[in-house]
């Protein structure tokens, strides 16, 4: 009997070429999952993800679903997957869903987090998950700039995909920028800045370009009110740089 399963995944994206399977390599998250599940089912299994994370991007709560003909229970499938998946990919939850559930088409919102270390002191244990900015950042200025980006807008200026004919209108519900304390350092060293984005969906490279632009505000290379002009221009060249993938983590996918 063909059944539909939803899984929540965690993975460290450092050594993978992103989520989406590719003909040129089998070193993708989707590719690893499909190969494993096809072996389990002794038949081809296709895995649908809630979205594509780029090479080097991590996930704490990626959602995927797959249809498979099996008599295994959800817990047995989860145990099988975690037994044979690489140690940097894990299934943290699984449930059987109605036939028509689709992890991407039914998603209502997502939350991403981008981590920045604002220090010249190396953080050895965080090096794969953070982007380092040594110059002092003005958090208050970045918070003011972020307020201009909350709401429903055409974010064409904040995507690297110039060829897409699909709508570039998205809604950002909230951008939270806050200082936090690294657990590996004394409490008086508030050297990490978290950029948390929640919205109904994000364009190709959108979060990384938004972060790069906000960081330029934090470095006083731009003013907070420049965000409105960048949005209205619709031009990628008016926005900031694309920050490295390693600082970005998909935290949550929402279905309500």
Q: Which residues are catalytic?
A: 54
Buried b (16+ CB within 10 A) or exposed e, 214-243: bbbbbbeebebebbeebbeeeebeebbeeb
CA distance 249 to 56: 10
Which strand (E) or helix (H) includes residue 158? none
CA distance 115 to 128: 11
Which strand (E) or helix (H) includes residue 144? helix 139-147
Within the chain, strands assigned E span: 2-11, 47-49, 58-69, 89-97, 109-117, 131-132, 151-154, 169-180, 192-199, 248-254
Handedness of CA 125, 208, 101, 20 (dihedral sign): negative
């Amino acid at each position: 009997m063909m059944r539909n399963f939803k899984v929540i995944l965690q993975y460290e994206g450092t050594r993978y070429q992103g989520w989406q399977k590719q003909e040129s390599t089998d070193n993708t998250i989707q590719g690893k999952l499909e190969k494993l599940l096809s072996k389990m089912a002794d038949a081809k299994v296709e895995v649908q993800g809630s979205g594509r994370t780029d090479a080097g991007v991590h996930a704490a709560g990626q959602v995927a679903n797959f249809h498979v003909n099996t008599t295994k229970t959800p817990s047995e499938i989860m145990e099988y997957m975690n037994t044979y998946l690489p140690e940097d990919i894990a299934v943290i939850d699984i449930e059987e869903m109605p036939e028509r559930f689709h992890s991407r088409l039914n998603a209502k919102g997502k939350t991403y987090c981008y981590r920045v270390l604002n220090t010249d002191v190396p953080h050895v244990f965080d090096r794969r998950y953070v982007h380092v900015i040594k110059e002092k950042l003005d958090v208050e200025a970045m918070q003011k700039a972020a307020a201009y980006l909350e709401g429903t807008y055409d974010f064409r200026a904040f995507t690297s995909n110039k060829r897409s004919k699909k709508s570039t209108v998205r809604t950002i519900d909230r951008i939270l920028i806050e200082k936090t304390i690294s657990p590996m350092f004394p409490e008086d060293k508030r050297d990490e800045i978290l950029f948390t984005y929640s919205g109904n969906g994000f364009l190709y490279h959108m979060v990384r370009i938004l972060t790069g632009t906000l960081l330029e505000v934090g470095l006083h290379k731009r003013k907070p009110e420049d965000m409105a002009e960048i949005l209205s221009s619709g031009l990628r060249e008016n926005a900031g740089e694309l920050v490295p993938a390693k600082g970005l983590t998909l935290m949550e996918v929402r279905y309500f």
